[in-house]
Amino acid sequence: MKSKMYMNKKMLMIFMIGLVYPIFNNIYAQQSGKYGSLSFKSAINVSGKQRMFTQKISKAYLYLLNNTNDIQAKKDLASSQIIFEEQNRILIQNSKSIEINNRLKAVNELWKNFKEIVETQPNYDNAKKLIDINTDFLKATNAVVESIISESKKSVQDIQNSLDESGAGEDQLELESLINISGRQRMLSQRLAFYYFANRVELKNKNSTQMLNNVFHELDGALNKLLISKFNTPKIDEKIGVAFSKWNAIKKNKSILMSQKLEEDEVYRISNELTKVFNEITLLYEKVNV
């Protein structure tokens, strides 16, 4: 009798474990797939925006050298600084990784020097300093994005191990890579204008023309990756079409762009329009469920 009761209890325990284990694994998977209170998709998008703001702030500062009364540029310069600081705070607040925290702290240190320059009345001496430190600052913000992507890959690996499913999360990683590419287009749109203004005679150095050319080709090449993505919805396709339309207006005038014959206000406007549509595309990718 006791033996029978023992067997019944044992079978009940096994049954309960069978019910609870999948639930536990599901909860673990959900918790592992997060960057603090943010999804990894959102964290990649936000950190990617930080790259863009380094270029947008720099672009606005150089543009204001010759366009001192431009209200939109002044707004862009001021608001971008506020958003940059707030987003970096959010990224730090949600990070549980030592590596990511260290990279965010490095960004904050570089930001102090960068901010001192961009808060001055635009002048050519400080503009040259800004050009000199711009790429290092951009690389620091990009390193944060790469670390978050790496952290997401580790999280997916943990989920695969816990669920014993080797293919789990592969679509998620592919989508996150696409969010990074799309988000990077925002930065390149701003960087193109930044180097257009940095290519002026008063600011030009030995690398300026080559950098402008490099950004042009990088932006152009990445558009095709977005065009053929399996994650594209009709709405995303529509926005990519808008991006192509705006980009082709620049592409067909590449020789004019490279010879500094475009009006500065036109370059400024187009860069913001491109950034806006790439931001819309990136947000749509972030909302895709896999």
Mean pLDDT of 28-38: 70
The answer to whether 121 and 148 are in contact (CB under 8 A) is no
Q: Return d(Cα 210, Cα 268) in angstroms, integer.
A: 20
pLDDT at res. 10: 55
Average pLDDT over the chain, rounded to an integer: 90
What SS3 state is found at 279? helix
Q: What is the CA radius of gyration of the chain?
A: 24
pLDDT in tens, 34-52: 999 999 999 999 999 999 9
Residue labelled with tokens 């702290």:
105
The pair of structure tokens assigned to 226 is 């977005």
User: How confident is the model over 107-163, as pLDDT tens digits?
Assistant: 999 999 999 999 999 999 999 999 999 999 999 999 999 999 999 999 888 777 776
Q: Determine, yes or no, domain membership for 71.
A: yes
Q: Is the pLDDT of residue 236 over 70?
A: yes
Does the residue 106 lie in any domain? yes
pLDDT by residue (tens digit) across 61-91?
A: 999 999 999 999 999 999 999 999 999 999 9
Taking residues 262-268, report their average pLDDT.
97
* pLDDT value at residue 158: 77
What pLDDT score was predicted for residue 27?
A: 39
User: The tokens of 175 are what?
Assistant: 């989508």
Position 77 in a domain: yes
Instruction: Examine the pLDDT at 12 and tell me if it is beyond 90.
Output: no
pLDDT at 32 (0 to 100): 54
Flag whether 132 is in a domain: yes
pLDDT for 3 equals 57
| E strand spans, the chain | 34-35, 38-39
Number of domains in the chain: 1
Q: What's the one-letter identity of residue 284?
A: L
**Is residue 43 a part of any domain in this protein?**
yes
Q: Provide the pLDDT for residue 290.
A: 86
- SS3 of 110-125: HHHHHHHHHCCCCCHH
Percent of the chain with pLDDT over 70: 86
Report the SS3 class of residue 230: coil
Is there a contact between 185 and 234 (Cβ–Cβ < 8 Å)?
no
- Mean pLDDT over 189-198 rounds to 98
CA 110 – CA 118 distance, rounded (Å): 13
Buried b / exposed e over 116-147, threshold 16 CB at 10 Å, is ebbeeebeeebbebbbeebeebbebbbbbbeb
Segments forming the whole domain that contains residue 193: 39-162+169-287
Tokens standing for residue 30: 């959900």
Name the DSSP class of 262: S
The helix/strand/coil state of 15 is: helix
Distance CA(200)–CA(196), nearest Å, equals 7
Contacts of 194 (CB under 8 A, 6+ apart): 55, 58, 59, 62, 134
Question: So what's the pLDDT on residue 1?
Answer: 56
Residue 134 domain-assigned (yes or no): yes
Question: How far is 40 from 146, CA to CA, in rounded Å?
Answer: 12
Across 161-189, average pLDDT: 87
Residue 14 lies inside a defined structural domain of this protein: no
State how far the Cα of 221 lies from the Cα of 258, in Å rounded to an integer.
Answer: 18
Q: Give me the mean pLDDT over the 254-268 stretch.
A: 96
Domain annotation covers residue 9: no
